[in-house]
Amino acid sequence: MEKQEKIVSMFDNIAPTYDTANRVMSMGVDKSWRRKACDLAYGFYAKESIDKIVDVACGTGDMMDFWKKRSEASRIAIGEIVGVDPSNGMVNVAREKFPKFNYHIAKATEIPLKDKAADILSITYGIRNVVEREAALREFNRVLKEGGLVVILEFMKNENPSFLGKIRDFYMNKVLPKVGGFISKNLEAYEYLPNSIGDFSTVENMQKELMEAGFEIVYTKSFSMDISTLLIARKK
């Protein structure tokens, strides 16, 4: 089985317990990161009406719900919110939670939408699971309108961690896998999390890849001891 298929299969396996494990492990702080990402993106896009928002690697649909709720708070009209994910298991959970959204079972490199179809495209805690990342970034560019935004929330690799960063790494490497493994009964899946961060990109490399894919960086910020990083880039 190729690497991408193995990752998808792993997410199919943990889908029923994914939300519970996430809430416990992040202690709910991921909600503030998601809220900030939506609010900033709406501010940068600066339109009162948006045709389409696409959430890639949508998982169980939480980010889609944040796009909807924050648009309502900002009085922005959204035509359609679309979720894209290769995992049937995760999308089945999303459909049950949020039946009003539209979904596609598809890879990040093969989004089944026309050119220049979306105003905003997000991928939250999913880009490190995309094996062909550069091809996916080019696909994001294809799907976005001119001036459209890509919004990335991710656990980035830190090559020179501070003291607090070392505490973060200990928590991510030693504590989280055991908590997630206990809740999901799948230790291997949650050992994958810190390993995937260690194998992933730095913030600087991610910015470079975005620029090479035809984007200009408009915002970068790391939150909570650099646990999570938000990148917003605009299609040129």
- φ, ψ of residue 120 to 5 degrees: the values are -135, 135
pLDDT band at 193 (very low <50, low <70, confident <90, very high): low
Give pLDDT tens digits for 90-125: 999 999 999 999 999 999 999 999 999 999 999 998
Strand order in the sheet with 49-56: 102-105, 77-85, 49-56, 118-124, 144-154, 228-235, 215-223
Domains (ranges, CATH) in the chain? 27-159+201-235 (3.40.50.150)
Give pLDDT tens digits for 181-192: 766 677 777 676
Query: 81 burial class (0-12, 13-18, 19+ CB within 10 angstroms)?
Result: buried
pLDDT band at 13 (very low <50, low <70, confident <90, very high): confident
Rounded CA-CA distance 111/128 in Å is: 17
Query: 48 burial class (0-12, 13-18, 19+ CB within 10 angstroms)?
Result: exposed
The pTM assigned to this predicted structure is 0.86
